[in-house]
Amino acid sequence: MNTFVDPAYVDAQGHFANGKYRHVRMPDHQEVSDPKERAELYHNHDIRVHNARLLDPPATIDVQGFQLVHQETQVDDLIDMAKATTSFYAECSEVVTEITGCADTYVTQHQYRNGYGNLPEGHPKRMKPTPNGSPGAYGGTHSDISPMAENRWDDVVDGRHCAMFNLWRSTDLENDIQVMPLAVLDMTSLEFDDMVAADAWGGAGKVQQHLVSYRLAYNPNQRWYYFPRMKPTEMLVFKQYDTRESDPSLRQVYHGAIPDPHTTDDTPLRQTIEVRVLALFDKETNREARKARYQSEIPERFADGTVSSWAYR
């Protein structure tokens, strides 16, 4: 009989942006020609990641920015693109509507993760190709959405307030998630000064786009959590953006994969899907003015003073 008891915390390493990029635009690593600067873009830092299952009361979207829900999908194959983009998207929309009470939803995309990106070709634990072309590698610490993303939603939101949520769960319907679980940052422990706006290649498929997302500078006051051994009937929902929130540190939950020291070499690799659902609410009074104010929080200049051309305010 398995008598393993999940620990109160695990000590892990988080992947953080170099603190020198606070208050400036951070370049994408592919655009940095100097090998020394490229090597110094990120660094690992020891973090303590607490067992979120022990929180009493449980974590919620409104307080910490993340919430674990029971979700028994009726989709028998979440890798099947036709099923994922129809039946499973509908299930995800239902989850967001129930949590937020929103008037409507719009699913923008989904991503798959299935292995390590830093292993050589042919290694059995290296990331595998995904059916929609999304990167299969377990990701470092980041937040997906910045105010610049609003420019792509104009037609969808039609002047309404909106909030973006990530819905993360296993595509393996037989095994718990053990390898590289997702750590999430309690948004109330985030300081605006630690949010690093970064140019980044992104997009769901093979055609990548110039985006502006967020990286994170380390701060010892940051409080990290994870849900150990997430079951195939569980889903983690966490906030990525919210036009109703004036405080930028409370609009998103930073997240990233961490090694679990309790796994072994024969533990099944984590196979997950992450769906992004835009929740739509009431009409804004002056969306353009509010959007411009939020986008002005994003530094436009790199550390050398040049202006990024990847997105404009």
Q: Tens of pLDDT along 30-78?
A: 889 999 999 999 999 999 999 999 999 999 999 999 999 999 999 999 9
End-to-end CA distance of the chain: 59
Nearest-angstrom CA–CA distance, 243 and 310: 22
The single-letter code of the amino acid at 136 is: G
**What's the pLDDT band for 2 if we cut at 50, 70, 90?**
low
- Identify the pLDDT of residue 3: 61
Per-chain mean pLDDT for the chain: 94
Q: Which residues contact 222 (CB under 8 A, 6 or more apart)?
A: 47, 185, 186, 189, 190, 194, 216
pLDDT at 153: 93
Q: CB–CB of 254/190 below 8 Å?
A: yes
Q: What is the pLDDT of residue 203?
A: 62
Q: What is the pLDDT of residue 6?
A: 87
Could you give the residue ranges of the DSSP H alpha helices within the chain?
35-39, 81-83, 89-100, 154-157, 287-295
Residues in the chain: 313
User: What's the confidence (pLDDT) of residue 95?
Assistant: 98
Domain boundaries, the chain: 9-295
* Other CB atoms within 10 Å distance of the CB of residue 91: 17
State residue 30's pLDDT score. Answer: 86
| Tokens representing residue 222 in the block | 């940051």
* 290-302 average pLDDT score: 96
Percent of the chain with pLDDT over 90: 90
User: Taking the mean position of all CA atoms in its chain, how far away is CA 106?
Assistant: 18
pLDDT at residue 313 is higher than 60: no
Q: What is the pLDDT of residue 206?
A: 55
According to the model, what pLDDT value does residue 105 have? 98
pLDDT beyond 50 at 277: yes
Architecture of domain 9-295: Sandwich (2.60)
The angle subtended at Cα 136 by Cα 134 and Cα 138, nearest 5°, is 125
Q: Which amino acid is at 90?
A: A
Burial (0-12, 13-18, 19+ Cβ within 10 Å), 307? exposed
Q: State the virtual CA torsion across 263, 273, 252, 234 in degrees, nearest 10.
A: -70
Nearest to 68 by CA among 248, 254, 225, 241: 225
- 61 Rama class: left (phi>0) / alpha (psi -120 to 50) / beta: alpha
Interatomic CA distance for residues 299 and 281, integer angstroms? 28
What pLDDT, in 10s, does the model give residues 179-229? 999 999 999 999 999 999 999 877 655 556 788 999 999 999 999 999 999
DSSP 8-state class, residue 217? B
Report the distance separating Cα 20 and Cα 205, nearest Å.
32
Average pLDDT value for residue range 284-291: 96
Query: How far lies 306's CA from each of 26, 195, 303, in Å?
Result: 11, 20, 8
CB of 280 closer than 8 Å to CB of 162: yes
- The proportion of the chain whose per-residue pLDDT surpasses 70, expressed as a percent, equals 96
Pairwise pLDDT comparison (140 vs 100), residue with the higher score: 100
Amino acid, res. 32:
V
Is the confidence at residue 127, as pLDDT, over 60? yes
d(Cα 309, Cα 12) in Å, to the nearest integer?
36
**pLDDT attached to residue 1:** 45
**For range 106-118, the mean pLDDT:** 96
- Rounded to 5°, the CA angle 17-261-14 comes to 5
pLDDT in tens, 142-172: 999 999 999 999 999 999 999 999 999 999 9
pLDDT digits (tens, 9 = 90+) for 224-248: 999 999 999 999 999 999 999 999 9
**Is it true that the peptide bond before 35 is cis, omega within 30 degrees of 0?**
no
Cis ω on the peptide bond leading into residue 232 (within 30° of 0)? Answer: no
pLDDT at 83 > cutoff 50: yes
